[in-house]
Amino acid sequence: EPEVTQTPSHQVTQMGQEVILRCVPISNHLYFYWYRQILGQKVEFLVSFYNNEISEKSEIFDDQFSVERPDGSNFTLKIRSTKLEDSAMYFCASRDRGDEQFFGPGTRLTVL
Amino acid sequence: GESVGLHLPTLSVQEGDNSIINCAYSNSASDYFIWYKQESGKGPQFIIDIRSNMDKRQGQRVTVLLNKTVKHLSLQIAATQPGDSAVYFCAEKGADTGRRALTFGSGTRLQVQP
């Protein structure tokens, strides 16, 4: 069964450093998402991406964040200058023309 | 149940019993609702969904009930098994044009005692 994959599973970085989280959505999907989940809290929407552009973003997704689909398979989230409060699980999701979003296993980001 | 901060409400049931997990949603314009299961260290896993033009939908061992009058959603799991132990989140999607992102609830931890 096709699935969303994410790498790395755990990323540790120093405050102020740039990180890139990578996702490979399901191959025939058209819509891509990033969510984050701070430990013990609810999953929060960050950004959605369709047709090579951002279609929606939340207040969390400020100028420190960017997304890119550099080729036909990868979807990346970049955090330019990480802060302690960026520590969280980051989930990528994708969907086709239906409503169901399929989530990846997540990347745990730890900012020291 | 709803949670505040780090304190997830916990539902503890015996194996074989039925479980009911509740969720209150906030957006009366939401037209699509989903229940996700999240096991430790994993991403949300789809369980069942329902559209706002329905009030009940059944899957395998699971039933979702939607009460739009009071903006309440519930997930019923029949004959709960130890493998059902996880955190369960409801999520909603607004009917606003372009609003395709999901808004998640706070989650309920289900513990199944063997």
DSSP string, B70-89: TTEEEEEESS--GGG-EEEE
- Cβ contact B49–A41 (<8 Å): no
In this prediction, residue B59 carries a pLDDT of: 94
Average pLDDT over residues A37-65: 93
pLDDT at B4: 33
Residue percentage of chain A with pLDDT more than 70: 100
pLDDT band at A39 (very low <50, low <70, confident <90, very high): confident
Instruction: Identify the burial level of A48 via C-beta atoms within 10 angstroms of its C-beta, where 0-12 means exposed, 13-18 middle and 19 or more buried.
Output: buried
* Nearest beta carbon to residue A56 from set B42, B101, B105: B101
Cα–Cα distance measured from residue A62 to residue B101, given in angstroms and rounded to the nearest whole number = 17
- Mean pLDDT for chain A overall: 94
Partner A contacted by B99 (CB < 8 A): yes
Tell me which residues of chain B have a pLDDT lower than 50. Answer: 1-6
Are B89 and A104 an interchain contact pair (Cβ–Cβ within 8 Å)?
no
A41 touches chain B (CB under 8 A): yes
Question: In this complex, how many residue pairs, one in chain A and one in chain B, have their CB atoms less than 8 Å apart?
Answer: 61
Any idea which residue has 């890139």 for tokens? A20
> In the prediction, which pLDDT does B95 show?
67
Q: Evaluate if residue A4 carries a pLDDT over 60.
A: yes
